Amino acid sequence: MFFHHRATMACSSQDGEIEADNAWSSMPNRVSSFQCFPRSEEFSAKRLARAGFYFTGQADRVCCFSCHASLEDWNKEDAPLKRHQQASPNCRFLSCAHGLRASDCTQSPVYDEEAEAMEFQLRTGAVVDQTIYPAVAHMKSEEARLNTFSDWPADAPVQPEDLAAAGMYYLGTNDKVKCFCCGQQLEGWEPGDEAWGEHAKHYPNCFFILGHDVGNVPLTTPSPRVNGQKASVETFEGRLESFRGRQHPIDPERLARAGFYSTGKQDHVLCFKCGGGLKGWSPDEDPWEEHARNYPGCSFLLAEKGREYVNSMQLRYPTGDHSHSRPSQNGFSSHEKEDPMTKLEKLQMEKLCKVCMDGDINIVLIPCGHLVTCQKCSEPLNKCPICCAAITQKIKTYSA
């Protein structure tokens, strides 16, 4: 059975309480319900509506259109999103539109309504990041970036080759580097830090890290290393040789074909091209899939498997949904639980429906919470095209 949401107006019952219907999935309709809200001077209608609430018409009671949690007795210090999460930590709307999950601990920084509004619009597809990339066009060549490291501190724990491959170039002061794409800086490198991992951790929405085509020109002759030494791991044979005499849960040939070589420590492997590390392998894991899930911007991966494959892996296996976990240490990707909506938000930057690749994504599928289709492509669906979960509801996202 399909559920289509209508932009109908709210109505009032005989006792004055506003009755809810499917129109509350519309942000504008939720906003309009607060016209007579008694605490409007302390809480803007848009702020409450962004948190999923509509006004019930009784005292200061509000209700979430998605999980139906009701809240009242508001104090001026209250944060609508935080109160909503505390009352209903598994609310689908919170996970879809705000990336909040039951395990999250909502912080309480100084409230910035403009920043919250922009974050909400980005997550729901109302706006798209239109920033011009790359930020530093003359450093789009990996060779040009590598050439900036002539005075790189000899005792720095991160190698220039790894930093250049991760999009960074040296600014000539201490150990400060800058990304050619997002323009953000990193410094204070410590033993165990890994260039790609630190870039992804601090600036996860950098388009280069996400694998977008931002004009990067990789080295034609990479210079990978094993334990800091030059090695021939740019070749399949060289990578395979690194596993000689070592036991590994995954067939070394499969790992080598996916670009990985052994570091010589337990089951730790590194990609010869992007420097991305993985450990804690299970026998049923696929090296190509793990490469695509954790290091989607790797030029070797994109050249071998294509952008469509990488995108499909990002959607098919959100990190938090993966059945295996790995302890994070020394810059190695750990498959630690991560909000699935974070992954979807990254792909949503491209905004196109993943079914027709033409219309804009604007339908959230319930209960799985995937946001991958336009309204037209969602109409014939009764199962999610990503996870095959039965669809019980289809919610259209609206501009804030």
| pLDDT tens digit sequence for 306-324 | 877 877 776 665 443 333 3
Q: Any idea which residue has 């492997």 for tokens?
A: 269
For residue range 253-287, what is the model confidence (pLDDT) as tens digits?
999 999 999 887 788 888 888 777 888 899 989 99
| Dist CA 118 CA 6 (whole Å) | 25
For residue range 92-120, what is the model confidence (pLDDT) as tens digits?
788 777 766 555 544 555 677 777 777 77
pLDDT at 144 over 80: yes
The pLDDT value given to residue 116: 78
- 3-state SS, 280-324, equals CCCCCCCHHHHHHHHCCCCHHHHHHHCHHHHHHHHHHCCHHHCCC
The pLDDT value given to residue 158: 92
For residue range 212-260, what is the model confidence (pLDDT) as tens digits?
778 888 876 544 444 444 457 888 998 998 888 888 999 999 999 999 9
Count of other CB atoms within 10 angstroms of residue 325: 14
pTM, two decimals, is: 0.39
Question: CB–CB of 275/162 below 8 Å?
Answer: yes
- List domains and CATH numbers for the chain: 11-124 (1.10.1170.10), 137-202 (1.10.1170.10), 225-345 (1.10.1170.10), 351-396 (3.30.40.10)
Q: Give how far Cα 131 sits from Cα of 52, 60, 127, 183, 276, Å.
A: 29, 40, 12, 11, 27
| Dist CA 395 CA 195 (whole Å) | 40
Q: What length is written for the chain?
A: 400
The top-scoring range by mean pLDDT among 22-36, 45-59, 260-274, 336-350 is 45-59
| Dist CA 167 CA 145 (whole Å) | 8
Question: CB–CB of 210/295 below 8 Å?
Answer: no
For residue range 339-367, what is the model confidence (pLDDT) as tens digits?
445 544 544 445 667 666 667 777 877 77
- In the sheet that holds 185-186, the strands lie side by side as 168-170, 177-179, 185-186
The pLDDT value given to residue 141: 92
